[in-house]
Structure 1
Amino acid sequence: MTKRVWVKVLTADEKAVMGARCQQLIADKLKPLYLPEVRPTEFNYPVDMLGRWRGSKYSFIVRFRSGWPDNLGEEFDAGYARLDHVEESIQDLLFDVMWQRHTGQWWRQHAALTLDEALAEVERMIPPV
């Protein structure tokens, strides 16, 4: 006998609302606090902060530009926080707050938070700038 498991998938409208809230956090609080201006260096330096959806996960990203002579001007993205939708919660929209280790592996820092609680936790996390 197979066991049924009910999961809640994010709708396009929910993703749009959540993405707008995350973009607002980036624009209103994170960028002014951590990246008020771009300061070129001879090493890798941050030039932008942005967010991006990948499936049911929303990543907070810092874009870096290289100042090294051999790859001057090349850019790359480095994630520092991620909201993972908890699909097993069918009543509410809940998210796990994840942070990225130096190894590139994502680790859960907080489990099953509401969107407001999760965004408050992301606001407290210091990006690699």
Structure 2
Amino acid sequence: MITLFSNAMAPQKQWIYSPSKAAKPKVPESQKALITQKMTELIEQEFKPRYIKEPPTDHDFNYLVDIFGKWYRCWFYICGTYNCPSPRAMVPSFEAKFTRLEYVTPTSFNLAYFRHTGQWWEVSTNLTLEQALSEIKTNLIFHPH
């Protein structure tokens, strides 16, 4: 009879220091009002005329009926409301976010888009507000799908 002995021990667990994440900056009300105004202009002048169309009558696919913006903490989201005309639809409409502008400092913003994987993907960092608006206008990944 052969018996094998192993000197390998089970891994030891130990406590380690894990510092908390840095708090996101709070957006000043004056800055929030300016960003909201500029983003609303972009939505009203660029996105709505381009993407809001008459409801289709020849199919049961979802269609975009409204585009709007909203704040959540230090992020400004551009969102869309979609109607579901199919008789098999679980809900008559739903809301989807597709662009995220993150406030970092008064002169610095990050841009992200919502991927098909269900995660936000940050593609531009440390932009000024004007650069961020220009990027949203010209880059199709920030437009509704």
Normalised to the residue count of structure 2, the TM-score between the two structures is 0.74
Give the CA deviation at 1:9: 3.1
Whether the 8 Å contact between 2:51 and 2:64 is mirrored in structure 1 is no
Aligned residue among 79, 82, 101 for 1:64: 82
Pairing 1:24-63 to 2, within 5 Å after superposition: 24-35=41-52, 37-40=53-56, 41-63=59-81
1:5-64 deviation digits (Å, cap 9, x = unpaired)? 8x85321111011101100110011111222x2323411111111111001100011110
Aligned residue among 121, 139, 145 for 1:125: 139
Check if 1:78 corresponds to 2:96: yes
Give the CA deviation at 1:73: 6.6
What is the percentage of aligned positions where both structures have the same residue? Answer: 30
1:77-115 deviation digits (Å, cap 9, x = unpaired)? 1111110111xx4xx421101011012200111011000
Give the CA deviation at 1:68: 1.4
Normalised to the residue count of structure 1, the TM-score between the two structures is 0.82
Structure 1 residues 57 and 28: alpha-carbon distance in aligned structure 2, compared to 1, 3 A threshold: same
Higher relative contact order (CA 8 A, sep 6+): 1
Computing the radius of gyration from Cα coordinates, the structure with the larger value is: 2
The unaligned stretches of length 5 or more in structure 2 are 1-21
Please give the secondary structure, in 1, of the residue aligned with 2:54: coil
CA distance, structure 1, for counterparts of residue 93 and residue 118 of structure 2: 18
Q: How many residues align?
A: 120
CA distance, structure 2, for counterparts of residue 22 and residue 125 of structure 1: 15
CA distance, structure 2, for counterparts of residue 38 and residue 112 of structure 1: 38
CA distance, structure 2, for counterparts of residue 66 and residue 72 of structure 1: 8
